[in-house]
A and B are shown apart, each in its own frame.
Chain A
Amino acid sequence: DIVMTQSPDSLAVSLGERATINCKSSQSVSCSSNTKNCLAWYQQKPGQPPKLLIYWTSTREAGVPDRFSGSGSGTDFTLTISSLQAEDVAVYYCQQYYSTPQTFGQGTKVEI
């Protein structure tokens, strides 16, 4: 199984400041036949199911604010919230969907 490791486990950021979450996969998650990586980011607020934010490393899901961005290649990936808003308080998970079982990172809690 591909192991996904996020850092840090938790993060406190002031309103309007940048938040950066890292995710490392134990092996490549490059989807064959193209240069994309099968790496997604989800946001989970308390009492709610996860919500897809970003897929293919850097493509924002429809309706996701552009303050959320994803980057990375190989085995190292990053989710950046450029200007943290109060509604961004949540746990964020990375996921590889290159191979079964699709595996998630342990989560990063973002607080104000």
Chain B
Amino acid sequence: EVQLVESGGGLGQAGGSLRLSCAASGFTFRNYDMHWVRQATGKGLEWVSGIGTGGDTDYAVSVRGRFTISRENAKNSLYLQMNSLTAGDTAVYYCVREGPTVWSAFDIWGQGTTVTVSS
């Protein structure tokens, strides 16, 4: 079964750090671009960051310079290092797989991990 399982969410302090992890299974992880998408309570979906199979990275303007996405193919794992947290980072964070072809939609989503930033 293709699966993504996030962990690492919790309560963080404003100005502090958290590290999210995503464990992938059921597919050849190294062959897929991966992303983080977040959703504040009662709000819509916001793309946060993505990483290609070659390690190339992209970030939303709102997190650039504060968040770092990385992957460890040997461990089938995706990470998001979140620094200088603000209240605006409070959300459910989803680990997401991009489909296999050039220009693919997000075909597999994890259940999400909740990040709450307190001031």
Contacts and interface: CB of A to CB of B under 8 A. Distances in A.
Nearest to B107: A52
Contacts of B44: 93, 104-107
Nearest to A29: B103
Nearest to A105: B44
B7 to A, nearest CB: 15
Given A49-B111, A95-B105, A55 B45 contact: no
Interface string B100-119: 00011111011110000000
Interface residues of B, number: 21
B109 A97 contact: no
B110 A104 contact: no
Nearest to A95: B105
Question: Binding site of A, secondary structure by majority: helix, strand, loop or mixed?
Answer: loop
A51 B47 contact: no
Contacts of B106: 40, 42, 50, 52, 95, 97, 102
Contacts of B46: 104
B58 A104 contact: no
Contacts of A36: 103
A12 B45 CA distance: 22
User: What class of interface size applies to chain A in its complex with B?
Assistant: 20 to 34
A46 to B, nearest CB: 11
Interface in B64-119: 94, 98-99, 103-107, 109-112
B11 interface: no
B103 A49 contact: no
A50 B104 contact: no
18 contacts: A36-B103, A40-B105, A48-B111, A49-B110, A49-B111, A51-B109, A52-B107, A55-B99, A55-B107, A93-B45, A95-B45, A98-B103, A100-B58, A101-B47, A102-B50, A104-B45, A106-B44, A107-B44
